[in-house]
């Protein structure tokens, strides 16, 4: 019992540290947001988003912008720890290493959800569609969890490499293909108002991915931060 | 200098012999397929190549896990060897698949679940080598590579499943040709798989020896510098 | 009468055997290079060790 509260407190402490640091500067959040909107803008002209095309590509456009913006956030979250030598301090603290992983993961998740919470209403207003459906929001949350779960682990590794900013997307994108497919297809199905039977397999796939890729880093994160 | 192990020499000979027999079986013993013609014979070694690819990535993931537990350099060397062989044979599998698809499906490429999964697998293991290249400290490089070999391999079945699902909703242009194998074909097919498994073991051994030799060279260089 | 797809079959097996041969060749070349370098380094070390002993 005592152990678990200690673990939870360590996770929350790391989460809070990241959020407090971000709230002071807001550099990362604003960068992620502007980037996400720029991606949507680029798609607007690249795909000529007239009402007919939009119906079929909305969820794809949204997810690509989330994932690109997410990469920015993931790169930054570990790079700053590295540059300021904060990671060494964290490692000296008498907490479970996986608490560090969960803390960082939750912080990245919060950043991504904030970006999504801003992008969704803007997209709704710009293109006159209602994106606030419970099913779509569920997909957004499940997809973001899966993306951030793997992303935090791989970002911690990429931060140690010589080519770190370049390396993260190369490591991350092929591994998260299942998340991308399930999230895009599931969101599109919810937007089209499909029956639950058509969407349930995507939800299940995302759940399976989320569970698997929250469990694996728990076991291997020790080896990533080990000196 | 490493001595050349006798078992390895025997394995070399067995591999060459099996490969020769398998080739003869494919061309002389396996019957000509009625609808596809001669190109169907590519199938035997094509599937065997992809089998070696999967086997390589599986061995790499297992070796990665063992490395994380034990921390001995051998498992890291074995892991690299398995990934490299898996990558080479996956590429051979993709190219031969394309060559088979051209006359049969009338296209070099289709977005079939197996094709896309193999392609994404190849991209994952190219990224694996980029990760290794980017990290200088040998201990850290080995640990990160092991983690990525495990994570990458775990995502493969999910990738396959998601693409399958993706297609079941989209209309499938080309249905997978469920070729019924005649008894003779089955024999040749099984023999090819067996041959390639032995070939994999042989290459894995050679590549691991090469990796150990390279590690030895690295320690010698370090000694020179000290 | 099956369609004549012999040329595709030949192309397929050329790729398979060429691919495997190239890989084995690359293994052999790498092995040779590393072995040569090790031999060179060991010689250097023996030389350096010999000189060092004489100098002292």
DSSP states along A108-129: HHHHHHHHHHHHHHHHHHHHT-
- From chain C, the residues in CB contact with B33 under 8 A are 2
Distance CA C24, CA B13 (A): 14
Distance CA B94, CA A146 (A): 29
* Residue position matching structure tokens 């709230």: A23
Q: B30-34, B41-45, B87-91: which range is least confident on average? A: B30-34
Q: In this predicted model, what pLDDT tens digit does every residue of B149-168 receive, in sequence order?
A: 999 999 888 888 888 887 76
* Residue position matching structure tokens 């590794």: A157
CB contact under 8 A, B143 and A216: no
- Please check the confidence at residue B104 and state whether its pLDDT lies above 70: yes
The residue among B181 and B20 whose pLDDT is bigger is B20
Q: Tell me the shortest Cα–Cα distance from B56 to chain A, in angstroms.
A: 18
CB contact under 8 A, B217 and C34: yes
ipTM here: 0.88
Scored b (16 or more CB within 10 A) or e, B123-144 reads: bbbebbeebbebbeeeebbbbb
The residue among A36 and B113 whose pLDDT is bigger is A36
C55 touches chain B (CB under 8 A): no
Model confidence band, residue A148 (pLDDT cutoffs 50, 70, 90): very high
What is the structure's pLDDT at B1?
A: 47
What is the structure's pLDDT at C55?
A: 42
Sequential DSSP letters for B102-128: HHHTSSS----HHHHHHHHHHHHHHHH
Over residues C29-35, mean pLDDT: 94
Q: Name, of A101-105, A222-226, B170-174, the range with top average pLDDT.
A: A101-105
DSSP annotation of B37 reads B
CB contact under 8 A, A216 and B155: no
Domain residue ranges of chain C, discontinuous segments joined by +: 23-56
Q: Tell me the shortest Cα–Cα distance from B207 to chain C, in angstroms.
A: 7
List, in sequence order, the alpha helices (H) in chain B: 6-24, 42-70, 73-104, 113-134, 138-169, 183-225
B206 touches chain A (CB under 8 A): no
Over residues B166-192, mean pLDDT: 70
Of C31, A168, C25, the residue nearest B88 (C-alpha): C25
Query: Are A and C neighbours with ≥3 CB pairs closer than 8 A?
Result: no
Mean pLDDT estimate for chain C: 83
B22 touches chain A (CB under 8 A): no
Q: Which of A158, A160, A175 sits opposite B151 (nearest CB)?
A: A175
- Please check the confidence at residue A168 and state whether its pLDDT lies above 80: yes
Scored b (16 or more CB within 10 A) or e, C24-36 reads: eeebeeebeebbe
CB contact under 8 A, C15 and B38: no
- C-alpha torsion sign, points A116, A187, A141, A71: negative
C40 touches chain B (CB under 8 A): no
Q: Where are the beta strands (DSSP E) in A178-224?
A: none
A-chain residue closest to B147, CA distance: A220
B-chain residue closest to C9, CA distance: B39
Q: Is A13 exposed, middle or buried (0-12, 13-18, 19+ CB in 10 A)?
A: middle
Type and span of the H or E element at C18: helix C6-55
Q: In this predicted model, what pLDDT tens digit does every residue of A104-130 receive, in sequence order?
A: 999 999 999 999 999 999 998 888 888
Best mutation site among C1, C7, C16 for testing chain B: the one with the most B CBs within 10 Å? C16
Distance CA A206, CA A185 (A): 11
């Amino acid at each position: 019992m005592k152990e678990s509260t200690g673990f939870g407190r360590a996770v929350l402490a790391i989460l809070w540290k990241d959020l407090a640091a971000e709230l002071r500067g807001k550099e990362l959040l604003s960068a992620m947001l502007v980037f996400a909107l720029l991606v949507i803008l680029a798609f607007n002209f690249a795909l000529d988003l007239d009402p007919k095309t939009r119906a079929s590509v909305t969820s794809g456009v949204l997810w690509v912008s989330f994932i690109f913006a997410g990469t920015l956030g993931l790169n930054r979250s570990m790079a700053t720890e590295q540059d300021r030598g904060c990671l060494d301090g964290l490692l000296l603290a008498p907490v479970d290493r996986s608490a560090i992983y969960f803390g960082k993961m939750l912080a990245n998740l919060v950043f991504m959800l904030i970006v999504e919470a801003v992008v969704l209403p803007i997209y709704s207003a710009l293109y006159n569609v209602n994106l606030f459906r419970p099913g779509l929001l569920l997909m957004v949350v499940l997809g973001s969890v899966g993306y951030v779960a793997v992303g935090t682990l791989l970002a911690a590794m990429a931060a140690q490499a010589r080519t770190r900013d370049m390396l993260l997307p190369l490591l991350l994108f092929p591994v998260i293909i299942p998340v991308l497919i399930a999230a895009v297809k599931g969101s599109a199905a919810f937007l089209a108002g499909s029956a639950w039977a058509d969407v349930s397999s995507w939800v299940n796939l995302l759940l399976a991915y989320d569970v698997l890729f929250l469990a694996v880093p728990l076991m291997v994160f020790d080896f990533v931060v080990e000196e | 200098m490493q001595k050349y192990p006798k078992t390895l020499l025997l394995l070399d000979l067995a591999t060459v012999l099996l490969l020769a027999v398998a080739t003869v079986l494919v061309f002389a013993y396996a019957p000509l397929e009625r609808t596809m013609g001669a190109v169907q014979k590519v199938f035997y070694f094509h599937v065997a190549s992809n089998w070696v690819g999967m086997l390589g990535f599986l061995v790499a993931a297992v070796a990665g896990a063992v490395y994380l537990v034990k921390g001995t350099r051998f498992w890291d060397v074995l892991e690299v060897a398995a990934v490299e062989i898996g990558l080479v044979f996956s590429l051979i599998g993709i190219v031969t698949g394309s060559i088979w698809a051209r006359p049969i499906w009338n296209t070099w490429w289709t977005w079939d679940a197996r094709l896309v999964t193999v392609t994404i697998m190849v991209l994952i293991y190219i990224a694996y080598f980029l990760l290794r290249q980017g990290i200088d400290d040998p201990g850290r490089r080995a640990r990160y590579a092991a983690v990525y070999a495990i994570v990458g391999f775990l995502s493969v079945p999910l990738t396959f499943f998601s693409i399958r699902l993706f297609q079941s909703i989209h209309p499938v242009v080309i249905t997978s040709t469920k070729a019924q194998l005649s008894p003779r074909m089955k024999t040749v097919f099984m023999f090819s798989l067996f041959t390639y498994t032995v070939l994999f073991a042989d290459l894995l051994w050679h590549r691991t020896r090469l990796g150990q030799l390279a590690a030895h060279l690295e320690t010698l260089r370090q000694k020179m510098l000290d | 009468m099956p369609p004549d797809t012999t040329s595709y079959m030949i192309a397929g097996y050329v790729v398979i055997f060429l691919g495997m041969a190239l890989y084995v060749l690359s293994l052999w070349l790498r092995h040779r290079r590393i072995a040569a370098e090790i031999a060179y380094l060991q010689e250097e070390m023996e030389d350096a060790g010999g000189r060092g002993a004489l100098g002292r």
